Amino acid sequence: MNRLKLNYLKIVIETSEGEFGTDIPFKDGFNILRAKNTKGKSSTLNAILYALGIEEMLGGKNSKTMKPVLKDKLIFENKEVNVLESKVQLEITNDSGDVITLTRWIKSTSMDEKLIRVHFGAILSKKEAFNFKDYYVHLKGSASESAGFHAFLSTFVKWKLPNVPSFEGKDKLLYIQTLFPLFFVEQFKGWSGFYTSISGSYGIRDLPKRAFEFLLDMDITKNTKEREALKIFNALILNRWSSLKQNLESLADTVNGKVVGHSEKPNLIEELNLFVYDDNNKLIHIIDRIFQLEKDIKDKESYNIVSISNVSEKYEKEIIEQEDYVLQLQNELNSLRQDINLEKDNLRSMRENLRYLAIDLKRNQEAEKLYKLGSNIDSNIKNGTCPTCNQDISDTLLPPETLVEPLDLGENIVFIKEQKSTLEFGIKESERIIKTKQTKQAVLDQNIQNARKELRILKRELNENPALPTQKELEKLVELKISFNRLNEASQSFEKIEENFKDIKKDWKNYLTRKDALPEDYFSALDLKKLTFFEKQFLELLESFNYSSIENIDEITISKDKYTPIVSGFDIKFDSSASDNIRLIWSYIISIYRTSQRYNGNHPGFILFDEPGQQQMAADSQEQLFKSLSKFEGQSLVGTSLEPSEIKAMTKGLQVNIIDLGENYIIKPLL
């Protein structure tokens, strides 16, 4: 059985001249609707689309897609007749044998063109009365709401239309209209490609592919959807995971702890644990540490606290000792300071001397040079003799009576240098001594400060209430309580995080299970089988229709990307030979049906070709088409303007229902 079968089409036009229209009963299997060109054949076939609310395929919505003959004027016996009211009625059957009759008005004063009346019975073929219900098309919700005609129609045809990815990012329903181009080839646009996109693509991504996949009931649609859903799910989990990690780490930081068991990516095995350091700087579990602290606090609070009255005597003694000690340190420090100052004075004077010595040395060295120079000019200088009397004189300006015997310049220089090096040594020593003493002074300063602090504490404690615990003990207790509270808080936050962790683990498991269920490759095994079968059918049909644009038909394959035929990686050009293009479409449309039939797909089991004999199609090719259509298990309908004799010749020996509407206008007075 087929999902959709046409039983009867009726067009009714009320005019001032009476009722006009046409009655067309269809049969199962192969039907040929024959009429002379321009006599209304296409109008009639398009009326089928109108009745189904699929007139968008004709490039618009509602009655404007219908020819004037159905809504304005018709010509009868060379006379223009005004159309007052018109409607189209279509009786269809589904695969359960349910029959309904659709009525849609084209021109009416009382009935909305967006309304389709459904009679739950065969009112055309059996002329009986049935209940009816009105449905709507081209309104929001007409594909999904219960009063929407397309929602009703898809239920009737038993199509579970999927939600598919749209350009807006949100999923959209694969509208019923979008499937029709794959089995309903109308005359004007239908022969221009494998899939004639109908006014707009409803914002659905890769619409022709989705329609193809649906008719073949391929897994890919839902797999793609699942894959995309999983991708989002995965991103969501990872996001939650990383924020959990961050929370964990900052929590661990607040307690100087360490988290064990959170890896970079979520996994199912690991457990979370928060460790902190105990008194011995060893890592232990936070809960254990809390228990430890609790016990410590209890111990201290109950009995172990040393109170002042217990220690006052001891403190008094200690204070005296401490005071002595401070005094002693102070004395030491004072004498040390004195030493340092003395040494600094010493150093200063030595440095000054050194500077004078340096000047002295320089001058002596200059003098030495001078004497050398002078001796070139006056020999008295070298010899140390008097320039007047040539007696020896000492080299000095001091009066001779002083009897001073000066050193030679050379000796003098050596003497100064020795002095200098002695002084330099002294300076170094002095610097070293100062440094050592200053270091000692710093240590002493520190010691004195500590000793004084201790003394202050001792004195203060003695001033306090004797029953109070000592400050030392109190401080320790407060410290314990603070860290206890802090760890407790941390532990509570940790528990929350742990809950969250379990949630994420659950989701992760769910994710992994779903991912496992998906086929690893893009196509499932069954999908591949379907595509292979489709390809085989397609090539067989092409050959039988005498396709000749490509010599070796085996070179043609079906693209796994677009589901359309390709030759060595490129789409088959539609301009190669016009009649071969038509053969491609014939083959394509029929192959879809055959594949769906074979694998129990969603094809309605109904095919319509309006004027398949396009582009001076060779008669024998058309004969082959008729032949394959006559073997068709479903219902097929071909509209043609061939002469009755030609049809007869072409369909010789074939199972066919020829509906010849004669040589005149199809629309004629109804009897």
- The full 3-state SS of 10-47, as one line of letters, equals EEEEEECCEEEEEEEECCCCEEEEECCCCCCHHHHHHH
Please give the Cα distance from 606 to 624 (Å, whole number). Answer: 19
Please give the Cα distance from 1 to 23 (Å, whole number). Answer: 25
Q: How far is the CB of 347 from other proteins (least distance, A)?
A: 24
Number of residues that bind other proteins (CB under 8 A): 34
Instruction: Report residue 28 as tokens.
Output: 């199962």
Q: How far is the CB of 326 from other proteins (least distance, A)?
A: 47
Please report how the helices 525-544 and 578-598 are oriented relative to each other, as an axis angle in degrees rounded to 10: 140
Please give the Cα distance from 362 to 482 (Å, whole number). Answer: 74
Mark the segment that binds other proteins (CB under 8 A) among 12-20, 150-158, 407-415, 492-500. 407-415
Nearer to other proteins, 203 or 406 (CB): 406
What phi, psi does 611 have (nearest 5°)? 55, 65
Nearer to other proteins, 386 or 525 (CB): 386
Q: How far is the CB of 362 from other proteins (least distance, A)?
A: 9
DSSP per residue over 55-92, as a string?
GGGGTSSGGGGS-GGGTSEEESSS-EEEEEEEEEEEEE
Please give the Cα distance from 120 to 100 (Å, whole number). Answer: 5
Q: How far is the CB of 419 from other proteins (least distance, A)?
A: 9
Interface with other proteins includes 528 (CB under 8 A)?
no
Of 29, 162, 374, 519, the one binding other proteins (CB under 8 A) is 374
What residue type is assigned to position 273 of the chain? N
Contacts 24+ apart (CB under 8 A), 139-143: 139/114, 142/53, 143/173, 143/175, 143/176
Q: How far is the CB of 365 from other proteins (least distance, A)?
A: 9
Of 125, 197, 380, 548, the one binding other proteins (CB under 8 A) is 380
Nearer to other proteins, 62 or 412 (CB): 412
Nearer to other proteins, 112 or 378 (CB): 378
Nearer to other proteins, 358 or 649 (CB): 358
Interface with other proteins includes 577 (CB under 8 A)?
no
What is the footprint of other proteins within residues 306-365 (CB under 8 A)? 360, 363-364
Nearer to other proteins, 166 or 380 (CB): 380
Mark the segment that binds other proteins (CB under 8 A) among 52-60, 74-82, 385-393, 439-447. 385-393
What phi, psi does 52 have (nearest 5°)? -90, -5
Q: Which residue, chain included where needed, has tokens 């015997």? A: 405
Q: How many CB atoms lie within 10 A of CB 273?
A: 17
In sign, the C-alpha dihedral spanning 68, 70, 73, 75 is: positive
Mark the segment that binds other proteins (CB under 8 A) among 321-329, 347-355, 406-414, 449-457. 406-414
Nearer to other proteins, 232 or 359 (CB): 359
Of 133, 231, 314, 369, the one binding other proteins (CB under 8 A) is 369
Nearer to other proteins, 395 or 454 (CB): 395
Residues 579, 615 contacting (CB under 8 angstroms): yes
Q: What are the distances in angstroms from CA 179 to CA 79, 135, 665?
A: 41, 20, 31
Q: How far is the CB of 370 from other proteins (least distance, A)?
A: 5
Nearer to other proteins, 342 or 407 (CB): 407
End-to-end alpha carbon distance in the chain = 34
Of 147, 358, 407, 482, the one binding other proteins (CB under 8 A) is 407
Q: How far is the CB of 457 from other proteins (least distance, A)?
A: 60
Of 341, 396, 436, 664, the one binding other proteins (CB under 8 A) is 396
Mark the segment that binds other proteins (CB under 8 A) among 184-192, 225-233, 381-389, 435-443. 381-389
Which residues make up the interface to other proteins (CB under 8 A)?
Answer: 360, 363-364, 366-367, 369-371, 373-374, 376-378, 380-381, 386-388, 395-399, 403-409, 411-412, 415-416
